[in-house]
Amino acid sequence: MTTASSGASGTSDTSGFPDISISTERLVLRPLEEADVPAYAEMMNDELVTAWTSVPQPYTEDDARAWITRLAPAERAEGRGIVLAVTEFLTQRLVGIVQLRCTDWRVRSSELSYVVAPWARGEGYASEAALATAQWLFHDQKFERIELRTAADNTAAQQVAQKIGCISEGVLRGAWIARTRNGGDPFGGWLDVRTDLIVWSLLPEDIEGVSESLADTGFSAYSDWN
């Protein structure tokens, strides 16, 4: 069950997404704020986030501030996507982010990705936040397709995609650069490693009944991050 509130009208036009806040039983999804800079920078320096994303390393607070105050708002204003902070309802602590990108307004489709902080993994937060975003996008914004892309060895991200009802459509061979520690040394530098991407799709009919299924499992079946 999700509720959404917006500073704009309930449905966006093709020029950009509204300034949105989405609430679930445990989470609040809202625009990133400058106060999030320290927690956001810490999250983006995590080993697993580094391994599976393309964020700069090390990720500084200046990087976080530029993203939060300038780059992410431009994504929304210019209609390319939207970035939402995922916070715990009770503590307001930053759990992670959900991002929509590569939005096609004519096709009414967008690509979804997510990151969860190390301390919050294993609680089903990624599934809950991704599903809430999908419900909002389908019901309020009248979109018809969401796409996810997960690295071939990122099994946790694949489990999240399956958990929210996504259908695997195929493999993009050699389409992503992951990172691994040089020689496996936890204190060594990072090496780029080419990997495949699994493409997943989610349509409005795919999420029917998914909310009830997640509630039955207590939102804690998988370790969620991407």
Burial of residue 203 (number of CB atoms within 10 Å: 0-12, 13-18, 19+): middle
**Residue 214, C-beta contacts closer than 8 angstroms, at least 6 positions apart:** 124, 127, 128, 131, 163, 164
Q: What pLDDT digit, counting tens, does each position of 195-208 carry?
A: 999 999 999 999 98
* Cβ-based neighbours of 189, under 8 Å, separated by 6 or more: 181, 182
Q: What pTM was estimated for this model as a whole?
A: 0.85
| pLDDT tens readout for residues 25-44 | 999 999 999 999 999 999 99
62 band by pLDDT with thresholds 50, 70 and 90: very high
Return the closest-CA partner of residue 99 out of 156, 152, 162, 146.
146
**Residue 111, Cβ density class (10 Å: 0-12 exposed, 13-18 middle, ≥19 buried):** middle
